[in-house]
Structure 1
């Protein structure tokens, strides 16, 4: 039997995709927001497609704010964008 691929919804575009095709944004117990590259860290996760457009959409439509039920400072989005750029460059 084929292994079932867990689906997650992008907080930017709203598309359902396989968990491994997306980036996990994590909210830790200390309310820090970071990119979880392994997908295994403890905390509340929200998923974004691996494209800068989706991150910008999530910023515009406040997708992460809704997922984490908290306001997210502009600096956090800037940091996430920087991390995305590093990953795209690899």
Structure 2
């Protein structure tokens, strides 16, 4: 059986490469709206953040996504990102890396 290539992406906060499934995609569309891309397939410019609450908090402290997308993001967006990452991290631990 052939082994499949694992797509790798770079975390914009830590600068480390990781499998795409272990990252959350954030996307900016043509209108300049930034959102969490739960499907990983929205059109627009994407950036990836690790499914790790500490990394998401660091992104908020450093306003990393503001830099990456050249926009001013609200505190609410970063709080939503932290909550989403916390949820994904909990699911990952609960389902033993299956999701």
TM-score bracket, normalised by the shorter chain, equals 0.7 to 0.9
The CA deviation at 1:23 is: 0.6
Q: Distance in 2 between matches of 1:50 and 1:83?
A: 9
Q: Is the 8 A contact 1:7 1:19 kept in 2?
A: yes
Cα deviation for residue 89 of structure 1 reads: 4.7
Aligned counterpart, 1:23: 24
Equivalence map 1:1-80=2 (5 Å): 2-80=3-81
Q: Partner of 1:77: helix, strand, or coil?
A: helix
List alignment gaps of at least 5 residues for structure 2: 92-99
The structure with higher relative contact order (CA 8 Å, sep 6+) is 1
SS at match of 2:48: strand
Equivalences, count: 90
Structure number with greater Rg is: 2
8 Å Cα contact 2:12-2:48 kept in structure 1: yes
TM-score (norm 1): 0.81
Unaligned runs of 5+ in 1: none
Rounded Cα–Cα distance in structure 2 between residues aligned with 1:83 and 1:30? 23
CA distance in 2 between partners of 1:16 and 1:86 (Å): 22
* 4+ residue runs over 6 A deviation: none
